[in-house]
Amino acid sequence: ETGVTQSPTHLIKTRGQQVTLRCSSQSGHNTVSWYQQALGQGPQFIFQYYREEENGRGNFPPRFSGLQFPNYSSELNVNALELDDSALYLCASSSQGSHTGELFFGEGSRLTVL
Amino acid sequence: AQSVTQLDSQVPVFEEAPVELRCNYSSSVSVYLFWYVQYPNQGLQLLLKYLSGSTLVKSINGFEAEFNKSQTSFHLRKPSVHISDTAEYFCAVSDLRSYNTDKLIFGTGTRLQVFP
């Protein structure tokens, strides 16, 4: 069984730039959620994708956007990067309909904005 | 709105000693409750969960947590910790109204440091 994989693991950008983070969901999972974990904080829900559509969104501005592909993999895009966007971005997959809240997390992509 | 409070940011403890990591939540509706663990340079892993039924839930590695509705708490305990338990522990809640999403509200985490 293949777990959740994320790429890249680390990256550095400058303010105003755009970034794309990628996630492959665990085998058999059809739902992907993205979380932002700032240093010293708990993860915060960005949004969730199911059947290639956004299915729930947290308190994040529109410059945070995403995609889900037919193979259930997903991208997180952030435009006009700000210093406060520096964080660990976690992808989690699950099976829609389980309603158990059990998420399977990847190891994250650490973004540094200078 | 829901919230999760983990009162202790760090808990230092010696090996084989008991430990309790505290978690309180605030919600106007019924919730699911979770503890996730994050080892250094890794993603989060589910440790245990309360969905319904018995209020005492246990993990395979000796941790347990008890749902106390009147106290709105879900404290995590282990009677004897190991060095390998050193990690960040996050308490989380899921609103049962968020039926079609897996939106979890996390606390700020508790760093458990086990010393030999």
pLDDT digits (tens, 9 = 90+) for B42-93: 889 999 999 888 899 999 889 999 999 999 999 999 999 999 999 999 999 9
The Cα B13–Cα B85 span in angstroms is 11
- Tally of CA atoms within 13 A in the half-sphere of A64 that contains its CB: 18
Distance from CA of B58 to the nearest CA of A (A): 15
Q: What is the chain A residue with the closest CA to B96?
A: A99
How does pLDDT run across B3-46, given as a tens digit for each residue? Answer: 899 999 999 999 999 999 999 999 877 788 999 999 987 889 99
Beta strands A31-37; A87-94: pairing state: antiparallel
Q: Give all strands of the β-sheet with A74-78 in edge-to-edge order.
A: A5-7, A19-24, A74-78, A64-68
**Contact check, Cβ <8 Å, A96/B98:** no
Interchain contact B34–A (C-beta under 8 A): yes
Rounded alpha-carbon distances, angstroms, from residue B111 to A42, A111, A112, B38, B107: 12, 22, 23, 9, 12
Model confidence over B81-106: pLDDT tens digits? 999 999 999 999 987 666 566 788 99
pLDDT of A40 higher than 80: yes
Collect all residues of chain B within an 8 Å Cβ-Cβ radius of residue A50. 100
CA-nearest residue to A38 within chain B is: B108
Segment (H or E) for A114: none
